[in-house]
Amino acid sequence: MDDALAAESAIRRQLYNYCRAVDRLDVKLGYDVWHATGSADYGPLFKGTGREFIDWVCEQHRRLLTHSHQISNILTIVSGDAASSEAYVTAALRYKDGDRLIHVDVRGRYLDRWSLRSGVWAIDERQYVHDFDDRREVVALQAEGWSSRDTSDPSYQLNGF
């Protein structure tokens, strides 16, 4: 595999790691997506370091009943040990408002600048671009799932995870 394809693969894996970290509230995994000096700009919601963002977003998500993040349409440009990417993100969030179950869908994009340091691709700068969202009351078909929002989730029992 040539260097550019290997870089794209490593960056894609980090984007997936980010979603997993947020959905499983796995702070350490989330930290590893950013370089220690990396920044996160989520517009009016948050501005700070990547690690501060992971702390903040996991704390926000602990208030929810459940959440699920997906990444798609990943476009990456690699130039040596630097890269940039645009990735579409969809987040589904659920919480209780009194007796009502509220579902929020959020759509946006991550505009990331990456670098390869000590053999690891990680984010130097992230800018989140919000495209749209919607909020509605829902009736769940199943009251609870069998996933866990921590490392006791069944996925962590797989080899290599």
Q: Give the span between the Cα atoms of 46 and 52, in whole angstroms.
A: 9
> pLDDT exceeding 90 applies to what percent of the chain?
84
For residue 50, count CB atoms less than 10 angstroms from its CB and return exposed for 0-12, middle for 13-18, buried for 19 or more: buried
User: In 3D, which of 6, 157, 20 has the Cα closest to residue 78?
Assistant: 6
Question: Do 93 and 106 meet the contact criterion of CB atoms below 8 Å apart?
Answer: yes
Over range 83-98, report the average pLDDT. Answer: 97
pLDDT at residue 152, as a whole number: 80
Q: What is the pLDDT of residues 12-41, one digit of tens each?
A: 999 999 999 999 999 999 999 999 999 999
Residue 1 pLDDT greater than 60, yes or no? no
Q: Is 11 helix (H, G, I), strand (E, B) or coil?
A: helix
Q: Enumerate residues 6+ apart whose C-beta is below 8 A from 97.
A: none
pLDDT bin (cut points 50, 70, 90) of residue 146 is: low
Integer Cα distance of 30 and 110 in angstroms: 15
* Residue 17: φ, ψ to 5°: -60, -40
Structure tokens at 65: 């009943």
pLDDT at 145 over 70: no
Instruction: Tell me the domains of the chain and their CATH numbers.
Output: 3-142 (3.10.450.50)
pLDDT for residue 2 is more than 80: yes
pLDDT digits (tens, 9 = 90+) for 99-141: 999 999 999 999 999 999 999 999 999 999 999 999 999 987 7
Tens digits of residue pLDDT in 33-86: 999 999 999 999 999 999 999 999 999 999 999 999 999 999 999 999 999 999
pLDDT, residue 148, reads 74
Whether the pLDDT of residue 147 is over 80: the answer is no
For residues 57 and 110, the answer to whether their CB atoms sit within 8 Å is: no
Quick one: DSSP state of residue 17? H
